Amino acid sequence: MRTNPGGQLAPRDVVGRDRLIEKLWHILERQSLVLTAERRMGKTSILKKMAAEPKKGVRVFFRDLEALRTPLEFVDCVYQDVQADLSLKGRTLNRVRQFMEQVGGAEVKGFKLPQTVAPHWKTILTKTLEDLAEHQEGLLIFGWDEIPMMLDNIKRGQSEAVAMEVLDTLRSLRQMIPTVRMIFTGSIGLHHVIARLKETGYANAPTNDMFTEDVSPLDLEAALSLAMGLLQGEQIRGEDDTVLAAAIATAVDCFPYYIHHVIDELRWTTTTRTPEQVNKIVQANLCDEANRWDLAHYRERIDTYYSGAEQTLALGILDELAATDLPLSQRELLDRLNIQSIGQDLEQVRKVLKLLGRDHYVSQQPDGGYQFRFGLIQRYWKLSRGL
Ligand SMILES: Nc1ncnc2c1ncn2[C@@H]1O[C@H](COP(=O)(O)OP(=O)(O)OP(=O)(O)O)[C@@H](O)[C@H]1O
Ligand SMILES: [Mg+2]
């Protein structure tokens, strides 16, 4: 296995996700899924592995929606995928074809849907899925990576109302066609996109029929196995390979992305590889101005997705939590932030703590105290904020 930090992985190189994938298949038998995680945790790799190694009798259509800007472009992707699949079996999309004839659009084979049918995107999408469900037995799973990005693009390029319509249409399709399942994932949280839509009057809960599953870092055993596999693949020897692999896995909190990065850098060190070198590499990257580990988004995301008052509170809370090794209760946080009044301020703090939880910055302990969810990110925060 070779290092590949951030690139596309072959399904066999996706390490330590078998149990999670088994669970996801199980959930998909009954309902659709929202797959959430910190950036670079391995969501896309999981989705692609599921598409490459589907369960028997299940069809998985994987699509990265990042570059799409209109509902028609989206429907076109779905249409092309379904058409390619059905044509392999000599089937055609009869409902779509009849509808296209009615509205004067030519039948489309391998070409993009014409702009003239743009007002009918909902009908075409519905008929496409109906045609598919008629010809295909078993579950029909659409894995849509970066769907929050597409919704954001649609919101900017068209309007909030159109983005809401897309979400509502997908929800109603999930209700209408019992064999259709969707997996939503992406590098920005869907909750941020929905929160923005709610500010403009969107009242629906478009994913409350879906199961939300969070992707965590690897467990220690899988992280060790990934580190060993990469060390061997890159022919990197330490004094003791097992000790070196353990040092790598623990130094990066078992994040697979950083395991790839550290071993990629170790390749270029000429002296004997030691745990001390591993720690040096991690430390240097936590302070790296060039942001090669893509850590700057932890700070930038707050400016992009939190409102003005939330930003100040979020930064205050994270600074306090970064500077202490013990979990802090809500009361302790309020004291440290110098917030005395019970009322609006307290509600704001609670709201921001919830947001920070959903964005994987903090987690709440069984005794109610808050702390950084990942020690590595806490170290980064502390260093980058000069705390
Ligand atoms: N299970 C895994 N086994 C080995 N390496 C992994 C695994 N998961 C992630 N990686 C490493 O992390 C990188 C990022 O993975 P991936 O693109 O799947 O993450 P992501 O969660 O989709 O990221 P983003 O939020 O940026 O879309 C991969 O290129 C690879 O280097
Ligand atoms: Mg991804």
Looking at the fold, whether 310 and 247 belong to one and the same domain comes out as: no
* Cβ of 206 less than 6 Å from ligand 1: no
What CATH number is associated with residue 79? Answer: 3.40.50.300
* Cβ of 256 less than 6 Å from ligand 1: yes
Q: Is residue 79 part of a domain?
A: yes
What is the mean pLDDT for each group of 10 consecutive residues in the chain (387 residues)?
A: 95 97 98 95 97 96 97 96 91 90 70 86 97 94 97 95 96 97 95 90 91 97 98 90 96 98 90 89 94 94 91 95 94 85 75 95 95 96 95
Is pTM beyond 0.85 here?
yes
Looking at the fold, whether 237 and 132 belong to one and the same domain comes out as: no
Q: Is residue 6 part of a domain?
A: no
Looking at the fold, whether 252 and 316 belong to one and the same domain comes out as: no
* Cβ of 192 less than 6 Å from ligand 1: no
Structure confidence at residue 345 (pLDDT): 76
Q: Is residue 7 part of a domain?
A: no
Q: Is residue 293 part of a domain?
A: no
Looking at the fold, whether 264 and 131 belong to one and the same domain comes out as: no
Looking at the fold, whether 209 and 237 belong to one and the same domain comes out as: no
Q: Is residue 272 part of a domain?
A: yes
- Residues that place a CB less than 5 A from ion ligand 2: 44
Measured between alpha carbons, how far is 202 from 119 in angstroms, rounded to an integer? Answer: 21
Left, alpha or beta for 131 (phi > 0: left; psi -120 to 50: alpha)? alpha
Task: Identify the nearest ligand to the CA of 7 by its number.
Answer: 1
* Cβ of 17 less than 6 Å from ligand 1: yes
Could you tell me the two tokens for 112?
């993009």
- Given 190, 214, 238, the domain boundary residue is 214
Q: Is residue 187 part of a domain?
A: yes
Among candidates 320, 296, 313, which has minimal Cα distance to 384? 296
What CATH number is associated with residue 362? Answer: 1.10.10.10
Q: How far is the CA of 146 from the centre of ligand 2 (A)?
A: 7
The CA-atom distances, in angstroms, between 323 and each of 249, 328, 379, 386 are 24, 11, 9, 10
Task: Identify the nearest ligand to the CA of 3 by its number.
Answer: 1
Q: What is the DSSP string of 211-225?
A: EEEEPPPPPHHHHHH
The 3-class secondary structure across the chain, one letter per residue, is CCCCCCCCCCHHHCCCCHHHHHHHHHHHHHCCEEEECCCCCCHHHHHHHHHHCCCCCCEEEEEECCCCCCHHHHHHHHHHHHHHHHHHCCCCCHHHHHHHHHCCCCCCCCCCCCHHHHHHHHHHHHHHHHHHHHHCCCCEEEEEECHHHHHHHHHHHCCHHHHHHHHHHHHHHHHHCCCEEEEEECCCCHHHHHHHHHHCCCCCCCCCCCEEEECCCCCHHHHHHHHHHHHHHCCCCECCHHHHHHHHHHHCCCCHHHHHHHHHHHCCCCCCECHHHHHHHHHHHHCCCCCCCCCCHHHHHHHHHCCHHHHHHHHHHHHHHHCCCCCECHHHHHHHCCCCCCCHHHHHHHHHHHHHHHCCCEEECCCCCEEECCHHHHHHHHHHCCC
Q: Is residue 259 part of a domain?
A: yes
For atom 9 of ligand 1, the residue with the nearest CA is 42
Looking at the fold, whether 98 and 175 belong to one and the same domain comes out as: yes
Task: Identify the nearest ligand to the CA of 37 by its number.
Answer: 1
Q: Is residue 3 part of a domain?
A: no
Looking at the fold, whether 176 and 257 belong to one and the same domain comes out as: no
Containing structural domain, residue 236: 220-286
Measured between alpha carbons, how far is 247 from 363 in angstroms, rounded to an integer? Answer: 25
Looking at the fold, whether 255 and 341 belong to one and the same domain comes out as: no
Looking at the fold, whether 204 and 241 belong to one and the same domain comes out as: no
* Cβ of 260 less than 6 Å from ligand 1: yes
Looking at the fold, whether 319 and 224 belong to one and the same domain comes out as: no
* Cβ of 14 less than 6 Å from ligand 1: yes
Looking at the fold, whether 71 and 185 belong to one and the same domain comes out as: yes
**Phi then psi for 371, rounded to 5 degrees?**
-150, 165
Give the chain's domain count. 3
Closest ligand 1 atom to 40 CA: 23
For atom 13 of ligand 1, the residue with the nearest CA is 6
- Given 182, 214, 246, the domain boundary residue is 214
* Cβ of 36 less than 6 Å from ligand 1: no
Q: How far is the CA of 14 from the centre of ligand 1 (A)?
A: 8
Task: Identify the nearest ligand to the CA of 263 by its number.
Answer: 1
Looking at the fold, whether 115 and 225 belong to one and the same domain comes out as: no
Structure confidence at residue 308 (pLDDT): 87
Structure confidence at residue 110 (pLDDT): 57
- Given 214, 241, 272, the domain boundary residue is 214
* Cβ of 222 less than 6 Å from ligand 1: no
